[in-house]
């Protein structure tokens, strides 16, 4: 899972294929629970790009994409946001979500 370091957002998300971006905070309990779930999915789905962004460190980026709570997971297809999920999600639910939007 790639960590956002202030680079151009479009290059972080990518312009082709699927990208999953987790907006999180270090103090957030559900974020800590979700991170290993997404890391497991990242290892299983080689064709999907995974990244994460700390909202405290990159507050302006979080505002730009209208993050209202953490954790929030954004799904991008070919560089455009197609869906988002808020709160902790179990692995099976996330896999179904990703696979349904990847059709």
- Sheet with 48-54, side-by-side order of all strands: 2-3, 48-54, 18-24, 72-77, 80-86
| Cα–Cα distance for residue pair 38/50, rounded to 1 Å | 8
- Sign, CA dihedral 37-40-46-50, equals positive
Residue 31 among the catalytic residues = yes
Single out the catalytic residue among 28, 53, 62, 73: 28
Question: What interhelical angle do 91-101 and 29-44 show, nearest 10?
Answer: 50
Single out the catalytic residue among 13, 21, 31, 75: 31
Residue 3 among the catalytic residues = no
Q: Where in the sequence numbering do the catalytic residues fall?
A: 28, 31
């Amino acid at each position: 899972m790639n960590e956002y370091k202030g680079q151009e957002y479009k290059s972080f998300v990518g312009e082709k294929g699927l990208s999953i971006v987790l907006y999180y905070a270090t103090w957030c309990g559900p974020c800590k629970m979700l991170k290993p779930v997404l890391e497991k999915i990242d290892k299983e789905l080689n064709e999907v790009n995974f990244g994460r962004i700390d909202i405290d460190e990159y507050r302006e980026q979080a505002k730009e994409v209208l993050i209202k709570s953490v954790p929030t997971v954004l799904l991008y297809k070919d560089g455009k946001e197609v869906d988002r999920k808020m709160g902790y999600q179990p692995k099976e639910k996330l896999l179904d979500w990703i696979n349904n939007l990847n059709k």
